[in-house]
Amino acid sequence: MNLEEHVDLYERTDVVNSLLARYGVKFGIYKNNTFHEQLFPFDAIPRVITKEEFAFLEKGLKQRVDTLNLFLKDIYNEKKILKDKIIPEEFIYASSGYLPQCEGIIPPEGVYSHISGIDLVLGRDGVWYILEDNLRVPSGASYPMIARELCRRSSPKTFHDISIADNRTYADLLKKTLEHVNTGGLTVVMTPGRYNAAYFEHSYLAERMHVPLVTCNDLTVEDDHLYFKDYSGKRELVGAVYRRISDEYMDPMNFNPESVIGVPHIFDIYRKGNVALINAPGNRIADDKGIYYFVPRMIRYYLGEEPILSNAPTYLPYYEEDMKYVLEHLDSLVLKDVAEAGGYGVVFGNSMSVGQKEDFIALLKKEPRRFIAQEVIDFCGLPIFTKEGQPERKADLRAFVLSGEKTVVWKSGLTRFSRNPDSFIVNSSQGGGFKDTWVLNQ
Amino acid sequence: MGVKSVEMIDRLFWLGRYTERAYTTIRLYGQKFDSMIEEGSEGYDAFCHSLDIPNIYASAEDFRKRYPFGKDDPNSIYSNLLRAYDNAIELREEIGSETLAYIQLAVYELNKAAVSASPLIEFQSILDDILAFWGNVDDSIEDEHARNIIKIGKRVERVDLYGRLHMDRTSMVREVHRLTGRIARTGLHYREETIRRLNELISEENLNYPAIVEEVDRILEA
Amino acid sequence: MKTLHFRYDLKIEFSEPVTNHSFTVKCVPDTDERQHILRQDIKILPKEFLSTNRDSFGNFYFFGKTVAEHELFHVEEEGVVETGWSDSVPANDSPGQGLCLVQTSCTEPGPYLKEFFAGLNLPPDADNREKSLWIMDKVYRSFSYQSGVTTVGTTAEDAFSQGSGVCQDYAHIMISLCRMAKIPSRYAAGMLLGEGASHAWVEIACRNKWYGLDPTNHVPVAEDHIKISHGRDYKDCLINQGVFTGNARQKQSISVQVTEI
């Protein structure tokens, strides 16, 4: 395949962007406490993944997500991995991601992470590195889905000439995943509301799956079951809730009592097995950056296999020798606060002043469990199309792994790129844009 | 899909109303804008009066800017279109992205018109978008129930607006008849008394416009 | 062994009528190795649906909803319990002792408790039970009982720094110190013979068993205590939780009567 021949695709980047605007493909952002809807800039030069490369990634991602699902089940039930001292107990119990409320619950069909968003980068050394596991409510699949639809309109020839796996099947894949765990009744998408950053995605996925989009006002718990309240007073049983709302706000009776966007008692009936919540509550423990360190060990422990995909080289200051290494190599490391997400709480050692370093080291020594340190991975950029040429921008890949009857990797993904040439941060809440991700059929 | 929440019914109804309000007021404003090219400062007070909105404008120039584009003016065309948008955006899965797109496009056009020297050109595009929206409502909303509720919003708004504008008897009769014909098909609980009263009111010798407006706004009262 | 009769009465009065009231009530004692429930009757009013469940600590609870307007929510309970069957309950339960080593927002020590801990002179070779008896003794001597000076939201550190409080404060302070001493410890809520209100104490793990210690009264938990629930701290043992529609203030009153028969 020669992408050079398909320059018309790139040249129509503007056309695709105006179509994205037409369909309201936006994300919400709060600036100075007011809500804004912002377009998510699209660049038409895709990330291309060959069939062979995808087969490799697929194998590695399935291995990782299957392991994380086993980990979650173990942690909230038998705790073998703690008893066998693979992970120190306090890394679980002292993490804000561990929810004691979830103890002893096995979700419908035993699935914890139904939709996993795994963030990877391709190092200049040609190795794919996992940066983060997102097992709570990973968002972003809708963007490449709709961008593909629009690119096919703007450059049909490209898609005629090159055989690319169709990523628009995501809605079917997702629906199947949700229905696999449905306990009987409707499948719904639950949104906190239109002022949520990912509201476009919530409504678009509901549209594409042909299922209702609901808020807490539409749902009620009665007689040990969850119901959708019809305007006429009728009620319909709900069996699966793809909830795009975090654990803390889901149920004021069991989590944050101040929440006004949750459904009282939804967690009580989930505990009884009468509804599936997707993803399962309590998954945040697996997203914990401290737990990330242990994933390769988990793979060996639960599956008896060597990890196929690599973690970025990571140090845990909790361990004395790692603390020593971190203090000696601060300048070459990136430091991450385990409690933060979305590109926040990330500091590059070499960007700190002497004073900042002293403060940081004091904090690190006081709360060693709070931080991880990683080698700065020199990862590949991707070209973006501009009228002046095709400069490179740092880019990552969020792969979507769906676990239903079996674990499936979506043949696409969200490729995000940084806004500035010298930035490594590709998170959409901090500027930057996105690309389609092609998986080639041949 | 079948199941519809109270909120959704409400949004469908008001999407119909505000889209219609934006459409009719843009047309009226277009006529006014045209006449103001020569007349200059005259007549916007009468315009406000005919629309039954307060004249809060300091000058003809102020009116020309703020009535269509005023973000803080609750009676502006902008505010009406944005309320249509606010309802539409929360109905994507019900009305479909294609239908929603036309309301989105109308908002973009209105923003363009706000900085244009010849806003009537952009206004034409907004009217096109709104007509395309209605075309899509008919053509691509599969759920008949949802379709009827949006359209009943439009019919109610017509009677309300035409009543405020003191339109001629033929127009009033036509709009009340269209409303009467459709409302039973929505499956909504509506006030049958209102339909009966409206049909009485349009057969009176001297049309009592305020009574018509008051009556039609009560149609969904429990 | 003692046979105790208990009566538990929980009333929530609303200043104005409320609707859509979802509630969770956790005030039902349960049979375990230490106490055997011989019989009990529970009335909850008003309710439109009522269900039961167990939380992740194994505590029994009721949950339900009342949509209709009401100004009073009333739980009445009455029963007979045999206590003192054992001095402990097994500590192989979930979530386990590891969780009970982690401080929570209620127990997190500040400078006062840390300084106090440093001066405890814990016997180095003692087991967890002996150490915690030591801690209970020190807490009892350094803290005095006084109602009305703390609230349900007062942390161990705040209560300790002012020197007095109620059973909840005693329990949080002792838990904080035990956890600093690496003794798994948890909060227990229940009733006490002869006392008119609900009570709280501490359970500590030693040799895979949970032992109850009552720092307010400076006694090990034996025959006079009826346990309702346990958890990391007070918040896991809330007797009543509710959300409702309405702009009402609520007044909660609990009256408890435990007598020996």
Look at strands A371-375 and A333-337 and give their pairing: antiparallel
A13 and A64 inside one domain = yes
DSSP chain B: -----HHHHHHHHHHHHHHHHHHHHHHHHHHHHHHHHHHTTTTHHHHHHHHT-----SSHHHHHHHHHH-SS-TTSHHHHHHHHHHHHHTTHHHH-HHHHHHHHHHHHHHHHHHT-S-HHHHHHHHHHHHHHHHHHHHHH---HHHHHHHHHHHHHHHHHHHHHTT--HHHHHHHHHHHHHHHGGG-----HHHHHHHHHHTTSSS--HHHHHHHHTTTT--
Tell if the CB–CB gap between A252 and C243 is shorter than 8 Å: yes
Give contacts of B89 with chain A, Cβ < 8 Å: 24, 194, 199, 203
Q: Which of A328, A344, A375 is the last residue of a domain?
A: A375
Q: Which of B1, B4, B5, B125 to mutate to test the interface with A (most CBs of A within 10 A)?
A: B5
Closest to C25 measured CA to CA, from C83, C80, C74: C74
Co-location of A116 and A190 in the same domain: yes
Provide the pLDDT confidence category of residue B200 given band limits of 50, 70 and 90: very high
A270 plus A414 within the same structural domain = yes
pLDDT digits (tens, 9 = 90+) for C46-105: 888 899 999 999 999 999 999 999 999 999 999 999 999 999 999 877 678 899 999 999
> A264 and A407: one domain?
yes
* For residue C238, pLDDT beyond 70: yes
pLDDT at C230: 96
H/E stretch holding A116 reads strand A115-122
Rounded to 10 deg, the angle between the B6-39 and B119-140 helix axes is 150
* Interface B:C, ≥3 CB–CB pairs < 8 Å: no
Interface test with B, best of A27, A194, A203, A242 (most B CBs within 10 A): A203
Mean pLDDT of B121-143: 95
Q: Looking at the partner chain, which of A82, A90, A224 has a beta carbon nearest the beta carbon of C51? A: A224
Q: What pLDDT does residue B106 have?
A: 97
Q: What's the pLDDT at A185?
A: 96
CB of B86 within 8 A of CB of B13?
A: no
Query: According to the model, what pLDDT value does residue C156 have?
Result: 96
Q: Is the pLDDT of residue C113 over 90?
A: yes
Q: Which chain C positions have a beta carbon within 8 Å of A263's beta carbon?
A: none
Flag whether residue A236 sits within 8 Å of chain B, measured between CB atoms: yes
Three-class secondary structure of residue C192 per DSSP: strand
- Nearest chain A residue to B105 by CA distance is A22
For B25-64, write each residue's pLDDT tens digit: 999 988 888 877 776 666 788 888 888 888 898 888 888 8
Q: Provide the number of structural domains found in chain A.
A: 2
* Domain harbouring A351, CATH code: 3.30.1490.270
Whether the CB-CB separation of C69 and C17 falls below 8 Å is answered with yes
Q: What span, in angstroms and rounded, lies between the C-alpha atoms of A153 and A217?
A: 38
B97 contacts on A by Cβ (under 8 Å): 23-24, 204, 207
Q: Tell me the backbone φ, ψ of residue C59, rounded to 5 degrees.
A: -75, 135
* CB pair distance less than 8 Å for A268 and C232: no
Question: Same domain, yes or no, for A298 and A318?
Answer: no
pLDDT above 60: residue C122: yes
Cβ–Cβ under 8 Å, residues C159 and C233: no
Is this complex scored with an ipTM above 0.95?
no
Nearest Cβ partner for B104 among A24, A204, A211: A24
Give the one of A204, A211, A231 whose C-beta lies nearest to B9's C-beta.
A231
Domain boundary among A375, A400, A424: A375
Within 8 A by CB and 6+ apart from B124, the residues are none
The whole-angstrom separation of Cα C22 and Cα A417 is 46
> Which position has the token pair 């939804």?
A266
Residues A304-314: tens digit of each pLDDT: 999 999 999 99
pLDDT of residue A427: 59
Q: What is the mean pLDDT of chain C?
A: 94
Tokens of A402: 């769906």
Q: In this model, does residue C131 exceed pLDDT 60?
A: yes
Q: What are the C-alpha distances in Å from B2 to residues A175, B140, B149?
A: 18, 16, 14
CA angle (A401, A404, A405) in 5-degree steps: 130
Instruction: Dump strand ranges (E) for chain C.
Output: 2-25, 35-45, 49-54, 60-66, 70-83, 88-90, 144-145, 164-165, 185-192, 199-206, 209-214, 219-220, 225-231, 240-245, 250-260
Subunits with 3+ C-beta pairs closer than 8 A to A: B, C
Looking at the structure, tell me whether residues A203 and A241 fall in a common domain: yes
Domain that includes residue A70, residue range: 3-307+378-439
Rounded (10°) CA dihedral A237, A241, A246, A247: 60
Beta strands A128-134 and A310-311: pairing type?
A: parallel
- DSSP structure class, residue A366: H
Give me the residue spans of the domains in chain B.
1-142, 144-222
- Of A375, A410, A427, the position where a domain reaches its end is A375
Radius of gyration (Cα) for chain B, nearest Å?
A: 18
Mutation pick from A18, A22, A146 vs chain B, by most beta carbons of B within 10 Å, is A22
The whole-angstrom distance between A337's CA and the closest CA on chain C is: 19
pLDDT of A341 reads 63
Q: Look-up: residue for tokens 């958890």? A: C231
Look at residue A50 and give its three-state secondary structure: coil
B142 inside 8 A of chain A by CB? no
pLDDT tens for chain A, 442 residues long, are 566 777 888 888 999 999 999 999 988 888 888 888 889 999 999 999 999 999 999 999 999 999 999 999 999 999 999 999 999 998 899 888 999 999 999 999 999 999 999 999 999 999 999 999 999 999 999 999 999 999 999 999 999 999 999 999 999 999 999 999 999 999 999 999 999 999 999 999 999 999 999 999 999 999 899 999 988 888 999 999 999 999 999 999 999 988 889 999 999 999 999 999 999 999 999 999 899 999 999 999 999 999 999 999 999 999 999 999 999 999 999 999 887 766 677 889 989 999 999 999 999 998 888 899 999 888 889 999 988 889 999 999 999 999 999 999 999 999 999 887 776 666 555 668 999 999 999 8
Residues 6+ positions from A108 with CB-CB distance below 8 Å:
A181, A182, A183, A273, A276
Domains in chain C (CATH in brackets) are 2-84+239-260 (2.60.40.2250), 88-236 (3.10.620.30)
Minimal CA–CA distance to A48: which of A442, A439, A441, A409?
A439
Interface test with B, best of A18, A23, A190 (most B CBs within 10 A): A23
* pLDDT at site B42: 66
The residue that leads in pLDDT, B169 or A343, is: B169
Q: What is the pLDDT of residue B49?
A: 85
Domain match, A206 and A317 both: no
Give the pLDDT band (50/70/90) at residue C43.
very high
